[in-house]
Amino acid sequence: MKQARFRNFGEAQRDDWALIDARFRDYIDDAPRRVLAHLHNLAGDHHGYPVDRYEHCLQTATRALRDGADEEMVVCALLHDIGDDLAPANHAEVAAAILEPFIDPLNAWMIRHHELFQGYHYRHFFGQDRHAREQYRDHPAYERTVRFCDEWDQASFDPDYDSLPLEHFVPMVERVLGRAPRGGLPEPLPKESLPEETP
Ligand SMILES: [Fe+2]
């Protein structure tokens, strides 16, 4: 497959960037598949919980769907813990980073803060303030984040729940992550439009 030949960016020419840009767009289009493949990494180890994180994610998404949440919210529910294996001390940031370019900023805020909000249900067992989420009481995403955690996330550790299979959610993930990223992507300029200082 064709690839650029430069050894450093100082040698790279417009046609190199055009070639790389074309490949990058294919790579972005394939991102939903890679995200879903990564979700499988959460299967297997329960970490002491009644269900593993993969089942927890399916169950959270299923509950959201059955409660009438919109597609974007269901996808948020499915992917909200996808960072658990790579960033166990900071997992919410991973899901927020993956989803943020494609979703409502309030939903991205919800994902980013879900760990603190979820803490209402366990922080007191660790000598922490379970009401810490109240500092965000006036935030426009407060109510949805409370609902996300109280009704779907913290409730989804039931080994006997009839969660829908991942296949049910695949088209939803493809549609949400297949949206144009907010702000768009820069495209290589045509040769005749390049600035003068371009080598
Ligand atoms: Fe969760």
Q: What is the mean pLDDT of the chain?
A: 95
pLDDT in tens, 4-42: 999 999 999 999 999 999 999 999 999 999 999 999 999
Task: State the total domains in the chain.
Answer: 1
CATH number for the domain spanning 176: value is 1.10.3210.10
pLDDT in tens, 75-99: 999 999 999 999 999 999 999 999 9
**How far apart are alpha carbons 81 and 88 in whole angstroms?**
9
CA distances from 14 to 9, 188, 194, 195 (A): 11, 7, 9, 11
**How far apart are alpha carbons 107 and 92 in whole angstroms?**
12
Q: Is-contact 119 132, C-beta < 8 A?
A: yes
Q: What is the mean pLDDT of residues 166-176?
A: 98
Q: Tell me how far the alpha carbon of residue 92 lies from the centroid of ligand 1, in angstroms.
A: 9
Q: Tell me how far the alpha carbon of residue 35 lies from the centroid of ligand 1, in angstroms.
A: 17
Q: Tell me how far the alpha carbon of residue 154 lies from the centroid of ligand 1, in angstroms.
A: 7
Q: Tell me how far the alpha carbon of residue 53 lies from the centroid of ligand 1, in angstroms.
A: 8
Q: Tell me how far the alpha carbon of residue 33 lies from the centroid of ligand 1, in angstroms.
A: 21
Q: Tell me how far the alpha carbon of residue 81 lies from the centroid of ligand 1, in angstroms.
A: 5
Q: Tell me how far the alpha carbon of residue 178 lies from the centroid of ligand 1, in angstroms.
A: 24
The answer to whether residue 188 sits within a structural domain is no
Element (H, E) at 175: helix 166-177
Q: Tell me how far the alpha carbon of residue 56 lies from the centroid of ligand 1, in angstroms.
A: 7
How much is the pLDDT for 107? 98
How much is the pLDDT for 198? 62
Q: What does pTM read for this prediction?
A: 0.93
Question: Looking at residue 164, what DSSP letter applies?
Answer: P
Q: What are the helix (H) ranges across 10-139?
A: 14-29, 31-39, 53-66, 71-79, 91-99, 105-118
Q: Is-contact 170 36, C-beta < 8 A?
A: yes
Comparing CA positions, the residue from 118, 113, 197, 196 lying closest to residue 157 is 118
**How far apart are alpha carbons 42 and 94 in whole angstroms?**
14
State the residue range of the domain holding 98. 14-182
Residue 15 in tokens: 């046609």
When pLDDT is cut at 50, 70 and 90, the band that residue 186 belongs to is confident
pLDDT in tens, 40-62: 999 998 889 999 999 999 999 99
Q: Tell me how far the alpha carbon of residue 188 lies from the centroid of ligand 1, in angstroms.
A: 40
Residue type, 20: I
How much is the pLDDT for 199? 58
Q: Is-contact 94 86, C-beta < 8 A?
A: yes
CA distances from 22 to 1, 18, 187 (A): 13, 6, 9
The answer to whether residue 2 sits within a structural domain is no
When pLDDT is cut at 50, 70 and 90, the band that residue 190 belongs to is confident
The answer to whether residue 136 sits within a structural domain is yes
The answer to whether residue 199 sits within a structural domain is no
